[in-house]
Amino acid sequence: MAWGLFTSILERESKQHIERVSLQGEGEPMMHPRFWDMVDAIRAHGLVPYTITNGSLMDALRVAAAFPAIGISIDTIDPEYAQRIGRFKLHRVLRNLDALLGVLSPNRIIIHTVDMGQPLEPLKLFLRRRGINQHMIQPLQPKADYAKRYSPGESPTWGACTYRCRFLAAPLMRYYDITGLELPCCFIKNTADFVSSEQLRQQLNQRIVPTCCQGCGAIFPHAKVELPAPSDMVTSR
């Protein structure tokens, strides 16, 4: 996101009743050339910054000074499996995590893991040994605009729709994409068919699933991605 767009959104949002601004998307937030300027600007507005990082570029002292809590993605501690799923810098990530633990309490670290059927016990043990208790494990997102990136064997099943989305029922989140488009949640990756939150509400009231909500866990509570047996797993990017 361009700097001017970011500051105009921040200026506007800081006048609303919000507490936390999360800098994240599908890319790596810390790759943004002005990431730390953004963090400073959020704090200068009296707001709390948050981010989920892949941990490869973490500056431990800066993180400790600026973030009350930080999210780090770790799906495995197995170097071979990490390589297969595209987490190419595992060694550096784990080294950075230990550097972070040297300067802040483990209570300020939240580990995010996607459950792709990999053994999770070694990772859980690794975190427990470091005193990290906040471990959020989520399934692979079954939404259509995520699933189109998956390997052919990873097919989603959605089941029945509730037509009630909590992100539309109340303003839980305002998400801005890099063009400044405001969305009701962070799950809409293909914005081509998105018009407005109001239109999504109207469609769901008419028991129509909006194109940009197809397969979303918020309205398809039984949706899941069928994964091939771990030994056959190959992730393409």
Min dist. Cβ of residue 28 to ligand SAM (A): 4
Q: Which is nearer to ligand SF4, 81 or 220 (CB)?
A: 220
State the binding partner of 73 from ligand SAM, ligand SF4, none, CB within 5 to 8 A by kind.
ligand SAM
Backbone angles phi, psi at 73, to 5 degrees: -90, 120
d(CA 25, CA 79): 25
To which residue do tokens 């190959």 refer? 234
The secondary structure of residue 211, as a DSSP letter, is: G
Please state the closest distance from residue 107 (CB atom) to ligand SF4, in A: 29
Q: From the CB of 186, what's the least distance to ligand SF4, in Å?
A: 8
DSSP 186: S
- Contact indicator for 127, 111 with CB cutoff of 8 Å: yes
CB nearer to ligand SF4: give 63 or 219: 219
DSSP state of 107: G
Q: Reduced to 3 states, what is the DSSP secondary structure of residue 78?
A: coil
Beta-strand ranges (E) seen in 146-197 are 155-157, 175-176, 182-183
Q: Which is closer to ligand SF4, CB of 99 or CB of 114?
A: 114
112 interface partner picked from ligand SAM, ligand SF4, none, CB below 5 to 8 A per type: ligand SAM
Measured from the CB atom, the residue of 67 and 167 that comes closer to ligand SF4 is 167
**Binding residues for ligand SF4 (CB under 6 A):** 165, 167-168, 184-185, 187-188, 200, 213, 216, 218-219
Q: Identify which of residues 53 and 96 has a Cβ nearer to ligand SAM in the complex.
A: 53
Distance CA 164, CA 207 (A): 9
Q: Which does 146 bind (CB under 5 to 8 A by kind): ligand SF4, ligand SAM, none?
A: ligand SAM
Cβ–Cβ under 8 Å, residues 186 and 71: no
Least distance in angstroms from the C-beta of 105 to ligand SAM: 21
Contacts to ligand SAM by CB under 6 A: 24, 26-28, 52-54, 73, 112, 114, 138, 140-141, 146
Question: How does strand 48-50 pair with strand 20-22?
Answer: parallel
